Copies of this chain bind each other. A is one copy, B any other.
Amino acid sequence: MVTIKDVAREAGVSVATVSRALNDNGYVGVDTRKKVMAAIEKLNYSPNEVARSLYKRKSRLIGLLLPDITNPFFPQLARGVEDELSRAGFRLLLGNSDENVEKEMEYIQTFVQNNVTGIISATNHLDDQIYNELKLPLVLLDRISEDYPAVYSDGREGGRLAARTLIEKGAKRITLMKGPAHVRPAQDRFQGAIEELSHADIDFSVLSTTSYSFEEALGWAKELFEQFPDTDGVIASNDIVGIAIIHEALKIGKQIPEDVQIIGYDDIPQSGLSYPTLSTIRQPAYDMGRQAAQLLIKLIKKEQHIECKIQMPVELVERNTTRKK
């Protein structure tokens, strides 16, 4: 088996230099790096990551904790994280918490036991002791906190934009769907929408929901039209629910957008395929994932001048569930 010593000998440098070059840690001149890389290639050297991890107490593994990748917003985030980490030579340990605190703590613990170098987490349980005691770089994704670096989108503006759009397009009896209470971004966008609706001269109602799941989406949609049969504008809690509302509206014979306008949230890939296609507020999910990965890598490398809160912009995507003019 080829060892780091063989590489050093082939490149005509010290073992420490090869190690620095491999680990991107400390200065290595351009020419030296080239020599080392040529030797690695020639000898087909493949460093054992576990041995390296034990030696350095660091690995090239990153833990990523998400609520549930079967919700189509999260695979986009995950791909952004993965693609960016991959470019920097890191690999992803993935866990889905199902927003269950025990499951989440178990994952964080095993991430630590596997010597991950850093963690990216979309958690609702930051107050838990395990986060306080974490001795690793941590980046929050799709979540906000005073105390930790975080990448999120501007939920309040997103909520405002959704409400403003329906108001401008002539909706007079708007129903605002409130997302699950324990999900912080859902509350931000709710607050943004309330703010805008409160200042407008229109009627509006609030329908509280407790999940984003596919299974329950049609149930919320039914409840919406039962409770507010005259609503002419719906701010859906997310795109899944928005697509379910399209389904229900058509089923009970409403014209979209003539009788009822609908605006979603997220811009998941499916939203361009519904009929009519769903107008929505776009969160740049893939880019949020990439930014979180970049931020974490900077924290791991202890780079100075790190921007620790990255708020990404949201935008209106006008499709066919809102009126044209």
A residues neighboring B (CB under 8 Å): 46-51, 53-54, 59-61, 68-70, 72, 74-76, 78-79, 82, 91-96, 107, 109-111, 113-115, 214-215, 217-218, 240, 243-244, 246-247, 250-251, 269-270, 272-275, 277
Contact = CB atoms under 8 A, between A and B. Distances in A.
Q: Binding site of A, secondary structure by majority: helix, strand, loop or mixed?
A: helix
A46 B70 CA distance: 31
Contacts of A78: 69, 94
Given A70-B79, A76-B70, A270-B270, A115 B49 contact: yes
B50 A54 contact: yes
Nearest to A46: B113
A113 B275 contact: no
Contact of A114 (B61, B74, B75): B61
A91 B110 contact: yes
Given A69-B69, A70-B269, A75-B69, A93 B61 contact: yes
Could you say how many copies of this chain the assembly holds? 2
Given A49-B110, A61-B114, A113-B49, A214 B94 contact: no
A82 B94 contact: yes
A93 B118 CA distance: 14
Contacts of A91: 93, 95, 107, 110-111, 114
A49 B61 CA distance: 13
A247 B270 CA distance: 11
25 contacts: A50-B50, A50-B115, A54-B54, A59-B114, A61-B114, A69-B75, A70-B75, A72-B72, A72-B270, A75-B75, A91-B107, A91-B110, A92-B94, A92-B95, A93-B93, A94-B94, A217-B273, A218-B272, A218-B273, A243-B270, A247-B274, A247-B275, A250-B275, A274-B275, A275-B275
